[in-house]
Chain A
Amino acid sequence: MSFLNLSNIQKAFGPVQVVKDFNMAIEKGEFVSFLGPSGCGKTTVLRMIAGFETPTGGSITVNGKSQANLKPNQRNIGMVFQAYALFPNMNVAENVAFGLKIAGKPKAEIDARVKEMLGLIKLDHLAERYPYQMSGGQQQRVALARALAPKPQVLLLDEPLSALDAKIRVSLREEIRMIQQQLGITTVFVTHDQEEALSISDRIVVMNAGKADQIGKPAEIYNRPATRFVANFVGTLNLIEAKVVDPVANRITIGDQGVTLREPLGNVKVGDTVSLALRPEAGSTAPDAKGDTALTGEVISSNFLGSVIRTRMKVGPAVISFDMFNSPGLVPPAVGETATLRFTAGDLLIIRD
């Protein structure tokens, strides 16, 4: 049995079913992200783990122990909030010591632990500061230290970085990941930012309207989206509608251009529509581009984004967007030109919802 188990979790607010049949098993020391759009129920699941909401069905166990009859203050679960939620009347050291004092630890032990925690977040020099005297990033690090100080069984973070600006967001997420690995603490991290989830997680749960659409390692989620929703939400995948020409030979057409897929089409008939996904970095229009498959179309936009050039091309009814690494020798296709995009047929994924 896993360390943190969520089985068949349901949650309804009145008539509205917000979480439906949510299942997840998280191993000890694992870092799992809940990724999904606003309102899909990420916070609700997290709050059920913390005990702030009661599931209307299903069960939660931590370390083999059912959490059903435990109040939030009996669960020993650390929580970090988007709005920091430091106690404004306490300074940094007092905030970090709060949970330890509640637990009735002796003073010497509290002092030592506070010192250790402040060292971990590299804020030893700000122990006497009050929350309002610190930046958002510093406050969030204190909130992290405060949550970790009483050695919780599980650490929960609800969009802890979304109130911060882009630079801090990146450095702090790496810091959170490092601290998490250092302590080996089981962690659930909620975010709606796919890059954030992809960059720091052991596994990701992509949530859609209260359900887990796909659970997997970041690379699996990115490279092999299981549903149209995941394909749309994670990365900037192209979703292409194609018509089946020959189900046995895996032949389809995009617009009027024929393509042979690697992946078996399975149970479809001639004339059926299938959805295909193509990652933007899978193809190139450069003259030396490799690939067994080509699509030709009119370039409708070409944007220079620094390290990459993002080009959009019309192929029949579909618009395909692709990114090429910038290099001094590369001449990007001009708008209005006809270009040929080359890629490997294996990169075209069939999306079955």
Chain B
Amino acid sequence: MKSSRLLAWIAIAIGVIYFIVPLIGTFEFSLRMRRGEYTFDAYQSVFSDLQFRATFGYSMLMALLTIVFGMLLVVPTAYWVRLRLPQIRPVIEFITLLPLVIPAIVIVFGYLRLYNSSSWLPLTNTTSGTNVLLMFSYMTLSLPYMYRAVDTAMRAIDVATLTEAAESLGAKWPTIMFRCIFPNVMSGVLSGAFITFAIVMGEFTMAALLNRPAFGPYLQLVGANKAYEPSALAIIAFAITWLSMGFLQLVSRFQKTAPLKA
């Protein structure tokens, strides 16, 4: 009893050291830009960098678009599968897991083959076309998380009966989708959104290969060329992720709806 308790504490301590020490080290290093004293100079340098603002803004925008279009794809799909095609759910789950298994670099080379300037749909010919392609790549990357989050939220409500109740009251499908289903899976939509946000903000491979000015490649660039700023950026990136996760927790706590009885 006593010794197992001790072992547990040791395990926790090792874990904490493993995660926290490098973080503290990074943070401490990021404060040492000016010799002999701790300052936020590195952060100031980062925030005043125009490229930082541009890439950060670009990635934010991409993340937002990815979330909006991703949800417009995922929510109706998950809904339809639950309602009408429950037998193909395993297939859909498998498909949504593929982006976890196939490396991003393979996916992006696939895209480049399909949509290059001499293909039937030459998306990469224009900047906006490439932006669209990048957004769809991000959607692919975040699919496993979005689909799972939404599907889990749908399990908590009786999708089929709610749909029939709405139909018997005269509702057509856009109304059912946006007034009866979407608001009740909002917790899933939001948690999917925050994870997507974190993924897009840090993504490197796709943005770099599609040559778009995103935050990921910028991180890499700074990391290769400067000393203190990369540490500051790493801390900023961590903060973004943590904020996302924190919001995720908040959202799941302030869900207005309690699960329905089956």
User: A88–B257 contact, CB under 8 A?
Assistant: yes
Partner of A83, one of B184, B186, B258, B262: B262
Given contacts A87-B184, A88-B184, A88-B257, whether A73 and B170 have CB atoms under 8 Å apart is: yes
Residue of chain B at shortest CB distance from A136:
B261
User: B261–A98 contact, CB under 8 A?
Assistant: no
User: B169–A83 contact, CB under 8 A?
Assistant: no
One digit per residue, 1 when the CB lies within 8 angstroms of any chain B CB and 0 when it does not, for chain A 113-156 equals 00000000000000000111000100000010011001000000
Determine whether B119 belongs to the interface, using a CB cutoff of 8 Å to chain A.
no
Cα distance A77–B180 when bound, in Å? 19
Determine whether A299 belongs to the interface, using a CB cutoff of 8 Å to chain B.
no
Shortest Cβ distance from residue B262 to the other chain A in the assembled complex, whole angstroms: 7
Determine whether B210 belongs to the interface, using a CB cutoff of 8 Å to chain A.
no
Shortest Cβ distance from residue A89 to the other chain B in the assembled complex, whole angstroms: 4
Q: Which B56-71 residues sit within 8 Å CB-CB of chain A?
A: none
User: A147–B257 contact, CB under 8 A?
Assistant: no
Partner of B164, one of A74, A81, A99, A132: A81
Residue of chain B at shortest CB distance from A102:
B170
Given contacts A72-B164, A130-B256, A132-B258, whether A85 and B158 have CB atoms under 8 Å apart is: yes
Q: Which residues of B contact A84 (CB under 8 A)?
A: 260
One digit per residue, 1 when the CB lies within 8 angstroms of any chain A CB and 0 when it does not, for chain B 176-190 equals 000110011010000
Q: Which A75-110 residues sit within 8 Å CB-CB of chain B?
A: 75-79, 81, 83-89, 98-99, 102-103
Residue of chain A at shortest CB distance from B156:
A88
Residue of chain B at shortest CB distance from A91:
B256
User: B170–A85 contact, CB under 8 A?
Assistant: no
Q: Which B149-177 residues sit within 8 Å CB-CB of chain A?
A: 157-158, 161-162, 164-172, 175
User: A85–B169 contact, CB under 8 A?
Assistant: no
User: A98–B166 contact, CB under 8 A?
Assistant: yes
User: A102–B169 contact, CB under 8 A?
Assistant: yes
User: A83–B257 contact, CB under 8 A?
Assistant: no
Q: Which residues of B contact A102 (CB under 8 A)?
A: 169-171, 175
Cα distance A83–B158 when bound, in Å? 9
Determine whether A50 belongs to the interface, using a CB cutoff of 8 Å to chain B.
yes
Cα distance A34–B55 when bound, in Å? 66
Interface size class of B (residues with CB under 8 A): 20 to 34
User: B258–A50 contact, CB under 8 A?
Assistant: no
Given contacts A85-B158, A87-B162, A102-B175, whether A130 and B257 have CB atoms under 8 Å apart is: yes
Cα distance A143–B164 when bound, in Å? 13
Q: Which residues of B contact A143 (CB under 8 A)?
A: 165
Interface size class of A (residues with CB under 8 A): 20 to 34
Shortest Cβ distance from residue B178 to the other chain A in the assembled complex, whole angstroms: 11
Shortest Cβ distance from residue A132 to the other chain B in the assembled complex, whole angstroms: 4
Q: Which residues of A contact B158 (CB under 8 A)?
A: 83, 85
Cα distance A72–B166 when bound, in Å? 10
User: B164–A85 contact, CB under 8 A?
Assistant: yes
Partner of A73, one of B162, B172, B186, B256: B172
Determine whether A163 belongs to the interface, using a CB cutoff of 8 Å to chain B.
yes
Shortest Cβ distance from residue B100 to the other chain A in the assembled complex, whole angstroms: 31
Q: Which residues of A contact B167 (CB under 8 A)?
A: 52, 71-73
User: B168–A77 contact, CB under 8 A?
Assistant: yes
Cα distance A73–B173 when bound, in Å? 10
Most buried by A among B167, B168, B171, B257: B168
User: A87–B168 contact, CB under 8 A?
Assistant: no
Q: Which B117-136 residues sit within 8 Å CB-CB of chain A?
A: none
Shortest Cβ distance from residue B15 to the other chain A in the assembled complex, whole angstroms: 37
User: A76–B261 contact, CB under 8 A?
Assistant: no
Residue of chain B at shortest CB distance from A143:
B165
Given contacts A83-B260, A87-B180, whether A78 and B168 have CB atoms under 8 Å apart is: yes
Shortest Cβ distance from residue B48 to the other chain A in the assembled complex, whole angstroms: 44
User: A88–B168 contact, CB under 8 A?
Assistant: no
Cα distance A68–B172 when bound, in Å? 18
Cα distance A88–B162 when bound, in Å? 9
Residue of chain A at shortest CB distance from B185:
A89
Partner of A132, one of B169, B170, B175, B257: B257
Q: Which residues of A contact B262 (CB under 8 A)?
A: 83
User: A89–B169 contact, CB under 8 A?
Assistant: no
Shortest Cβ distance from residue B257 to the other chain A in the assembled complex, whole angstroms: 4
Shortest Cβ distance from residue B244 to the other chain A in the assembled complex, whole angstroms: 24
Given contacts A103-B170, A130-B257, whether A88 and B161 have CB atoms under 8 Å apart is: no
User: A89–B168 contact, CB under 8 A?
Assistant: no
User: B257–A52 contact, CB under 8 A?
Assistant: no
Q: Which residues of A contact B161 (CB under 8 A)?
A: 81, 83, 85
User: A99–B169 contact, CB under 8 A?
Assistant: yes
Cα distance A130–B184 when bound, in Å? 13
Cα distance A86–B261 when bound, in Å? 11
Given contacts A76-B170, A98-B169, whether A89 and B258 have CB atoms under 8 Å apart is: no
Cα distance A86–B166 when bound, in Å? 9
13 A-B residue pairs with Cβ-Cβ distance under 8 Å, sorted by A, are A73-B168, A73-B169, A73-B172, A74-B170, A81-B161, A85-B161, A85-B162, A87-B166, A88-B184, A88-B257, A88-B258, A98-B166, A103-B170
Beyond A50-B168, A83-B158, 10 additional pairs, beta carbon < 8 A: A52-B167, A72-B167, A78-B168, A81-B164, A83-B262, A85-B158, A86-B165, A87-B179, A146-B169, A150-B170
In the A-B complex, the 5 residue pairs with the closest CB atoms: A132-B258, A99-B169, A88-B257, A89-B183, A79-B168
| A interface residue numbers (CB < 8 A to B) | 50, 52, 71-79, 81, 83-89, 98-99, 102-103, 130-132, 136, 143, 146-147, 150, 163
